[in-house]
Structures are given as C-alpha cells and as structure tokens.
Structure 1
Amino acid sequence: MTLPPEGLWSIGELAEHAGTTVKTVRFYSEQGLLPEHARSSGGHRRYAPAALERLRLIRSLRELGLPVSEIGRVVEERAGAQAVLEDAVAGQLRTLGSRLRALRWQEAALHLVHECPPEERADRLRLVGSVGAPPSTAPVAGFWRGWLPPRMSAAARAAFLEVAVPQPPDDPTPAQVLAFARLYALVTRPCSDAEPSQPAAHEKAGARESALLYAGLAEAYELAYGDLRAGRTPYAGEALDCFVETYARVHGLRDTPDFRRGLAGQLAVDPRLDGYWELVAELTTPAGAPPEPTPGSAHDWLLAALDAQVGQAAA
C-alpha cells in the first residue's frame, strides 16, 4: 500500500485499496460517515489512511444489515463505541428475528395451500389470507374480553387471558397455520342472537364472584389434567369436588346432591366452545405428540363426571 507525497488518497485510490467502488465511497462520504481530510486544488476529495479502516468498518456493519443511521452512531461514538455497537447489533437481531418468524409463517401457509386438494385451495387461501404472518392474537383476546363477565377484575381477566389466548409458534407447521386461521375465523364471526353468548354463571358474577369462578375453575382444571393425560374415564373425585364447589360459592349455595343435579342441567345448556379449545390444542401441541389438555377438554371431562354421578344417584 503506497501513499502519494502529500500522504492522502483520492476517492479512486481509497476505493481501490478498500476493494469497492468510487460510487460507494462517495455515498458514505455524502452521508457523513466517511469525512474527507481535505480537498485538492481542483476541489476533489482527499482521504487520510485512517479512512480505510473506517470504510472497512462501515462496510462490515452494512453487510450485517445495520441501517446507515445506526452505523453513524457506531462510527461517531468514541467513549461508548462498544455499548453503541452492542445495542445496534441487538436491535438488528430483533428485527431479523421478526422477519424470519414472518417468513416461516408465510412458508408454512404456502405449503398448506400448495399441498391441499385443488378443490379446497380457494377456501384455504381465503382462510390463511385473513390473518397476518405472523398472526396477531389481538382478535382472540378481544373475543374473550367480550365473553368474560363485564365486572371481572383486571387481574383475574389478565390471568385468564394468559391461559386462553394461545401464542402462535415461531416455526409453525402447515397444520398449525390452518388451526390459527380457523381460530381467527371462529372468534371474528358475527354473533347469533339465537344463541346465548355467555354461561349462566356470568349473570351472578361481579368482580369478586368472577375472580372466585375463574380461579376455582383453573384449580379444578389443573386437577383434571392428570386424569386426562392418563386417559382415565371421568369419575367423581377431588377435581369434580373442586369444580362443583366453585359454582356453589359463586351462587352462594351449598354443594348438595340437589345442587349438583341442577348444575349438571345448567351446564348442559350453557354455550359451548369445544371448537375453540380443539383448535388451541392443535395449535399448541408439538407435531407427533398427543394433544395437551386444555381448559375446554378439562371442562368437558368434569361435566361428564358430574353427569355420571348425577345419573348414578338417580338410578
């Protein structure tokens, strides 16, 4: 590497030493990233040897995808250069992670459409085209906010939403893309006036009662999950007692055989969300694994146990 007598390079010489083009050097100079050392008598840019290392740093950062604004922060900073570089790289990693997640969803959606029978292709396109990539869970959360008791406390509502709103997987299978699209269609369809929109227990639930209702149900469901994973037939036990006692407390009544009989009848006519929970199980269960229990499957198991107990008592 040689320097002219004045110890400075022209823009062409700097570009040649850096293995890049004059156009690239000029662009970074005009962006303020590569200050010139002086101008020739003819008004041409002249660069000191230190500009070569700076140019190499700029090009390395650009290769990593950092925007010019972030590169400017890195190359201009002195005392905190390492911290600025670390923040810039971390920010770029987050951006790339979001893009990759979106691309994985798009790839799985394309496989879903490509691999389905031709007669189903239009319906699949319509379903997956209605959600983003990756999809937002805001419509799902909005559905539950309309379903839950209006006087439910913010803390109890947040705890329920944490369980009820599934987070889309980062690397979905085509089947999971379809499950989320169907879930989205389910929660955004217009309500029917001919069907009840909420369980009867919500009518009794103020802030305190709704907190008791959903905390108690969560405990009962957790107890039932073990039975579901073991494939046990619904039976009267600790999980069912917790389930019934929760409804009794909300209604301000005692857990008696008559109450259990009335509760079984009421729950039988409450609106059901089986389709929702089936889609949640499909969306959240790893490929090839048995379906994980959900609040919906636990509720059905407990209701079946209650029906069986009531039926045995009547016989």
Structure 2
Amino acid sequence: MFGLGMEVGIDLGTASVLVFIKGKGIVLQEPSVVAIDKNTNQLLAVGEEARRMLGRTPGNIVAIRPLRDGVISDYEVTERMLRYFIQKTCGKRRFFKPKIIVCVPSGVTEVEKRAAIEATEEAGGGRAHIIEEPIAAAIGAGIDITRPDGNMIVDIGGGTADIAVISLGGVVASKSIKVAGDTFDENIVKYMRKKHNLLIGERTAEALKKEIGCAYPKKQVTKMECRGRDLISGLPKTITTNSEEMLEALEEPVILIAEAVHAVLERTPPELAADISDRGIVMTGGGSLLEGLNKLIEERTGIPTYIAEDTVSCVAKGTGIALESFNVIEKSMMSSKSFRKK
C-alpha cells in the first residue's frame, strides 16, 4: 500500500515516544523530553538523557516536555525531537522518506491533528497518517476490532485517559479526559506539600507513584523514603511515607477516570453493553499499571477489568499491525472517521 520506503508507527505520547518499524517491531522507547541551551538554541539532549536533567539544569539550559495533555504544546521543539528519533531509528541517509502513522488521543481537534501530521512530515517523515489511540491500543491488545462485537478500551497515558467502545472497526462511544499519569504525579506533589510541608520534584513523585502508589486499599501497607526540601526551614528533609497516604493523594484523579468510564457505558447501545459485560474492560497505557486501578473500575462498574499484556507498548504495537494490514484498517477507519489520511 505504502510503496517504497520504511513504514513506521509512532506513539507520540506525553510521557514517552515509542517507534515501531515494520519488520523489526518496537525499536525505540524514550521519554518525551528535550534539553535545549536557551542562549544558542542548541539541542543538548533528547529522551532519557534529557529526562535525567529535569529539575537539575542551570539557568541557560531548559529541559522541556513539548507535549501536554496528549497534544503538541511546543511545535518547534516537538519537530526537533521527532527529527532526532526518526534519524536515530531510520538512519540519516535515506533515499525514500519513511511513511508514518502517528497516534493521537481521541478527543483532539482537527487543528491538533494537523499539527501532528505537519510536525511529523517536517521532521523528515514522508506521507503521514493519523490513528486514534484507543483504536491502536485495541489492535495492539490483540482485539479484533473488525467484528460486530462491543469492546471497551481504557487507555491511560501520561497526558490523557481515552475511554472508547469499539465495534466494526469504529468508535461507537468515547470520552477523552486530561487526567492521567502526569495528573497522578501532580497530585502527589500537592499532597506532600500540604500534608508534610515538603516540596518534592517530578521525578520523586513518579517514583512514589510507581513504588507505593495505589488506587485501591492494599492488604499490606508499603512504605518508602521520600526526600525533598522542607518549606518551613528551607533545608533538605527526608520523611517516610506509605501507600495509605498515596491512596489519599490519588483519590481524586482515579475517581475521575472511573466516572469517565461510567459515562461512556451510559452512552453505549444495550447490545454492545451486553458484549462488554461478557468480555470485560481492557486497560492499556502506562497509567493503567497504577496498582488497584483495575479493581476500582471493576467495583464501580460491576464489569471485569483486565490489564493488557505489555500494556505500555500496546498503542505502538497497534500502529505496527495497522501498517502490516493497512488496506483493511484504512477502509474500516475511513468509514468511521476515526482514521484520517492527509
């Protein structure tokens, strides 16, 4: 279908970028962070190397996350980041430009879709296409979206949580909310500030979320040391926090996600709702790994909720399968307007 040139799928996420190349699989997974020298506008680092600089840079260096809430917030920096990743995975010297599918959240506007396409093409890609994240996530999770059956996907990334009911290759009902992994981190920072007068950084909040964060009460309380700056004395301080405090800190965002799932189910046709009740809800994305989140959604909806295998890579894998069977996917997506070709 695509003809000559490499065929590439990009999961352009708020927290990380994954690149899939047809015939090779996932070849890159890096944080969506770029470090730039403000004085010279020189690109100093991209990906993991830049992420290590977050909160630790001098005045002339700024570490930027150019995507916010699942969409491009800094066009120029996003383009430079994409150019770096495309060159790293596809090589600098290419006779034919790679053909690329880029994932975007389901709730983005036409302007935001156009920005993603143009940034990809300006970064060195050939003809670019857009696929919505819930569709790609469902394909990557091993669901046959072309069948007349109802499937519910809850894709929780860094910037957005996309909830969608999919049948016959199209989205029947969906909701995208700007509550996801980044919101979890922000709530932990706010909680530690309010409860312990301790100012912690983004990376510390992320570590707390991964190690002891939970959305449902644990059988056994877990503890972790947390270092930051005391807001009263202004000096470094170390405290011990636990999973019960993290449960309290994360209560608001996880309830918002559960309510969004409920809202989509309310708008789902009864036949498809019956299918979902039998098949269960499938969760994908890094945010779905928050311990107990699937239990919370299951308790709120009464529907079995499962976390997909290799959940972080589902969207990128879905783009790869879309590349491999592009004719079928394009036909079904065009009919539902969930897949748009330039």
Shorter-chain TM-score: what band? under 0.3
- Higher helix fraction (1 or 2): 1
Structure with bigger gyration radius: 1
Structure scoring higher RCO (CA < 8 A, sep ≥ 6) equals 2
TM-score normalised by structure 2 residue count: 0.23
- Higher strand fraction (1 or 2): 2
